[in-house]
Every structure is written in structure tokens, then in C-alpha cells.
């Protein structure tokens, strides 16, 4: 057994025994065990994918997730929608029409290989495990096997009482501020909440800004997103 797979097995076993929810499964160590540069888990919500498990130091991975959230397209979105794994050995050679908004934007980020595996229970889709690497190349069979095991373990951990507790308030939500901004914009512009979120996404896209920065403007700088940055 390759050392990496062995490391991951040990990590999963320790997490299963601890009953500590997602906290027992450190994203950075799992990424290292899989020979990847970053790993993240997002849960499917009415408005998109909610990032719930990630390494706060993994700026490139978080940026990729937020880009997909802003644009509503990408490997993770596809895996969540279809329930099938999406493997992209090199983002730079994918034809633009596959993800027309994401691909040009992603070229500014140090991400080349991406894979997204659905977290599912039977036919119920819960979310996606996304992995990324700064160098292009396919996943080996051993990496894929380990990644599938990790996706399964993450699903089971999320469904334990500690996992539900994590999501219900135990862990901070990466996109809290975006939801607060949607609420604020709903009041200021007198529009439904879904439209408020759509405007935040559209503004971030058209002004080429990080969606969390846009949300911060709305919540803390009273921006109405009416075209002129504060």
C-alpha cells in the first residue's frame, strides 16, 4: 500500500473514533495524504454550494470555490448537479465553452488540476468533495480510490450528531457575510432574497471582484451595488 493511502486510512480511522465531527478531519493533512494542494467540502443548499470544510490557509482553493459560487458553474457545481465525479487534469486545455465564465477567471489562480466527487447517500446528493493541484496531470488510480474513500467518510461524518451540530452552528460558515449581505440588500432595494444574492454574484462577476469583498461593502459600507464602488 502506498504511504499516502496508509496516511489517509489512519486519518479516517482517527476521525471515525473521535466522534468530533469535521474538526477531527484536518483538510490540509488529508490533502497531503492524497498528494494534492488543497481539499474542500461544500454542501448543497437552495442557493448553491455552501463551503463547510476547508483549510483557512488554502487561499487558492477557497478562491476557486468562491469563483464557482459566484458564477454558478464549474467542476464542483457539475458534480453536485449530476451526482457523477468530474475530473479535470488540466484546466488550461479545457475548451472555454464548457465553463465560459469560470475558465478565463480561473487562469488567474494557481490551479491546474481539479477533481470533484459527489457526497451522496444512495440517490440523495448532499454535497461535493473538491480537490485541486497547482500542477496539471491525471489522478492515479490509488489517488482516486483514496479520494472516494474520503468522500464517503466525509458523508458519514456529516451525518453523525457531531456533523449535524457542526453545520448547525459548531463551525463558522465561510459565506456567512454573503448571506448577511443578501439580507441587507433585500431590505435596501426591496427585492426578494434570491434576487439580492443574484445581484451580489453579478456585481462580483462584472467588476471582477471577490464575492466576499463585495458582501463586506454591502454589510459594512452601506453599498447598494448601484454601480459605483464606495
Partner 1 sequence: MIGFGEVMDMAQPERDERLARAFLELADTLVDGFHLIDFLHVLTDHVVDLLDVTAAGVVMVDAQGRLVDVTASTAGAHQLEEAQLEFDEGPCRDCCYEHEAVGPLDLADRAVRDRWPRFAEAARAAGFAAVAALPLRLRDEVIGALNLFHTHPGALRPADLRLGQALADAATIGILHQRLAGDQAERVGQLQTALNSRIAIDQAKGYLGACLDISPDAAFTRLRGHARAHRMSLTRLCEQVVEGTADTKLFTAPLDAAHDD
Binding interface with partner 1 (CB under 8 A): 43, 45-47, 50, 52, 121-122, 124, 126, 158-160, 163-165, 167-169, 173, 176-177, 179-188, 193, 218-219
Instruction: State in angstroms the smallest separation of the CB of 78 from partner 1.
Output: 21
Instruction: State in angstroms the smallest separation of the CB of 45 from partner 1.
Output: 6
Return d(Cα 137, Cα 135) in angstroms, integer.
7
The three-class DSSP label of residue 42 is strand
Element (H, E) at 44: strand 38-45
The contacts of residue 198 (CB under 8 Å, 6+ apart) are: none
Instruction: State in angstroms the smallest separation of the CB of 73 from partner 1.
Output: 21
Residue with Cβ nearer partner 1 (192 or 229): 192
Instruction: State in angstroms the smallest separation of the CB of 72 from partner 1.
Output: 16
Residue with Cβ nearer partner 1 (81 or 98): 81
Residue with Cβ nearer partner 1 (40 or 106): 40
Residue with Cβ nearer partner 1 (95 or 169): 169
Residue pair 144/24 in contact (Cβ under 8 Å)? The answer is no
SS (H, E, C) 185-213: HHHHHCCCHHHHHHHHHHHHHHCCCCHHH
Amino acid at each position: 500500500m502506498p504511504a499516502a493511502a496508509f496516511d489517509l486510512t489512519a486519518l479516517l480511522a482517527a476521525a471515525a473514533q473521535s466522534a468530533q465531527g469535521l474538526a477531527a478531519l484536518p483538510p490540509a493533512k488529508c490533502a497531503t495524504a492524497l498528494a494534492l494542494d488543497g481539499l474542500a467540502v461544500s454542501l448543497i443548499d437552495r442557493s448553491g454550494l455552501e463551503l463547510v470544510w476547508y483549510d483557512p490557509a488554502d487561499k487558492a482553493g477557497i478562491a476557486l470555490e468562491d469563483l464557482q459560487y459566484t458564477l454558478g458553474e464549474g467542476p464542483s457545481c457539475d458534480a453536485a448537479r449530476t451526482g457523477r465525479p468530474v475530473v479535470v487534469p488540466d484546466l488550461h486545455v479545457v475548451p472555454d465553452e464548457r465553463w465560459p465564465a469560470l475558465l478565463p477567471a480561473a487562469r488567474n489562480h494557481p490551479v491546474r488540476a481539479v477533481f470533484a466527487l459527489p457526497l451522496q447517500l444512495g440517490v440523495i446528493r448532499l454535497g461535493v468533495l473538491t480537490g485541486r493541484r497547482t500542477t496539471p496531470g491525471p489522478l492515479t488510480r490509488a489517488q482516486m480510490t483514496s479520494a472516494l474513500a474520503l468522500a464517503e467518510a466525509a458523508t458519514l461524518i456529516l451525518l453523525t450528531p457531531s456533523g449535524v451540530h457542526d453545520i448547525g452552528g459548531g463551525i463558522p460558515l465561510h459565506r456567512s457575510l454573503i448571506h448577511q449581505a443578501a439580507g441587507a440588500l433585500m431590505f435596501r432595494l426591496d427585492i426578494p432574497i434570491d434576487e439580492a444574492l443574484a445581484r451580489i454574484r453579478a456585481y462580483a462577476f462584472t467588476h471582477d471582484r471577490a464575492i466576499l469583498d463585495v458582501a463586506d461593502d454591502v454589510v459594512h459600507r452601506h453599498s447598494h451595488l448601484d454601480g459605483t464602488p464606495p
